[in-house]
Amino acid sequence: MFLHRCGRCGRANKSGIAITMLSIGREEEYIDFLKIKGITLKSMEPVIISEEENCWYDETLRLWLREDRSRYDQAIRSYVGYVRYYSKHLASSIFRVRTLDYKGVARMYGLTRLPKMPENKYVRDFPEDGYLDHTIDFNTYAYADKKKETARKHELLTHERKRQRREKALKKKLQKNKNFSWSDKNSGKETRIERHDKLKRRREAIERKIQEEQVHGSSSSGEEETDQNDWKIDILETKRKRKARKNAMVQGSFDDL
């Protein structure tokens, strides 16, 4: 990839210059890495940029981006492409994704908010909602293209309506829980506990009966067998009544419609 991109600067038997910019520190090891590959780089005189010039560049870039939101979208794509390529570089021992200055790269592209991407987990002191600063109001940040701007406003309105519906549903739920009396909550809890204990006792009784049938099945007297049959009939009758009561409740709810 390095040779391919450098080769683009000189085409059709013409000469060109390819400049490789490396951060001070670990990235400088890339020079020795290229020497092993048979590529020699010539050092250039460092360009010293004053703080005033740096501030002027940042301000000029941001003013240019604010003229059209599509420019900001392009800056986001450039940032994402840079980070993705950096994270997949073959010389991963030199270009470590964990040590990349994400905030500095974002400011280089004029971004005021870090886009959502998996590599954000490596950002130190990740800002709230990804905002580096709040100089841009994204609710009013418009596109120069009228069609894009109309679509953006429509999407913003749809998002706002969804947010209002969620807040309304949450408020209604909280109000419902607030109006639910303490005594009703406790009585409902007690009813559940009693029902659970009742089912537990019934299950234990069924298990005991089954064990008795297995142990005394062949030697049971006629009277014991009659008692067991009566017990089974009672269980089936209870289930039938419960099912009939449930069906009656459902039918009643339909009759009310």
Token pair belonging to 45 = 């005189």
8 Å CB contact between 212 and 190: no
Q: What are the boundaries of each domain within the chain?
A: 1-45, 49-143
Would you state the pLDDT for residue 1? 47
Average pLDDT, the chain: 80
Band the pLDDT of 77: cuts 50, 70, 90: very high
Integer Cα distance of 212 and 198 in angstroms: 21
8 Å CB contact between 114 and 132: yes
Helix (H, G, I), strand (E, B) or coil at 186: helix
Band the pLDDT of 190: cuts 50, 70, 90: low
- Higher pLDDT among residues 46 and 94, named by residue: 94
Integer Cα distance of 176 and 84 in angstroms: 48
Torsion sign across C-alpha atoms 178, 182, 184, 186: positive
Integer Cα distance of 178 and 245 in angstroms: 32
List, for residues 18-69, the tens digit of each pLDDT value.
788 888 888 889 888 888 888 888 888 878 888 899 889 889 999 999 999 9
